[in-house]
Chains A and B, each alone.
Chain A
Amino acid sequence: KAGVTQTPRYLIKTRGQQVTLSCSPISGHRSVSWYQQTPGQGLQFLFEYFSETQRNKGNFPGRFSGRQFSNSRSEMNVSTLELGDSALYLCASSLETRTYEQYFGPGTRLTVT
């Protein structure tokens, strides 16, 4: 069974630009969650999508958005990038809700210059 895949793995962007990250969950998993990991703030929950609907959202500004497609694939978008958005963005999928175990992808390392 293929694991969670994230593309791209590495990305370098300039302040003010926008970026879209992609996540393909494990086949059959309907829940996709996104997390931001930084040395200073640790792992922080961004949002969760289930059946194409955003079910929960963490404490992040509106510049961070996402969506989920009918095949459960998910994208995350960050607009007007700031230096502080440099982080490892992790996607996780689970069978139903996040109270089930989550399976994480390798992450996308975003660097904002």
Chain B
Amino acid sequence: AQKVTQAQTEISVVEKEDVTLDCVYETRDTTYYLFWYKQPPSGELVFLIRRNSFDEQNEISGRYSWNFQKSTSSFNFTITASQVVDSAVYFCALEAASGTYKYIFGTGTRLKVLA
């Protein structure tokens, strides 16, 4: 079975604080893809990153960074020096390359950045 767990339902931080959103996944496949999406109040999901299971290299994009650790089945997302515009719901998602290609989303973490 495939599963994505985002245990943090809601996080509130003050602007300029760093924040890490956790994502733990389960899959028996050796080939799979992990994603992060942002859903701002407008409702439209925005793609942030895609990572395949063979690439454990961490990635940094501006204030965003991602830490992929297969040993703990985690794909965590850190926002450095958070800003009010970062307030949104963030979803982690998993897709395995075998089986029925079901695309599984986590339940999301609502991030509130307070000015």
Give A contacts to B, CB under 8 Å: 33, 35, 42-45, 48, 55-58, 88, 90, 92, 97-107
Contacts and interface: CB of A to CB of B under 8 A. Distances in A.
Contacts, number: 53
Given A97-B101, A99-B50, A101-B47, 20 more contacts: A42-B105, A42-B106, A42-B107, A42-B108, A43-B91, A43-B93, A43-B105, A44-B105, A45-B102, A45-B104, A45-B105, A55-B101, A56-B100, A99-B33, A99-B95, A102-B35, A102-B45, A103-B47, A107-B43, A107-B44
B97 interface: yes
Contacts of A100: 50
Chain A contact residues: over half helix, strand or loop, or mixed?
strand
29 contacts: A42-B106, A42-B107, A43-B108, A45-B103, A48-B101, A56-B100, A56-B101, A57-B100, A58-B102, A90-B45, A92-B45, A97-B101, A98-B95, A98-B103, A99-B52, A99-B95, A99-B97, A101-B35, A101-B47, A102-B35, A103-B47, A104-B37, A104-B44, A104-B45, A104-B47, A105-B44, A106-B43, A106-B44, A107-B43
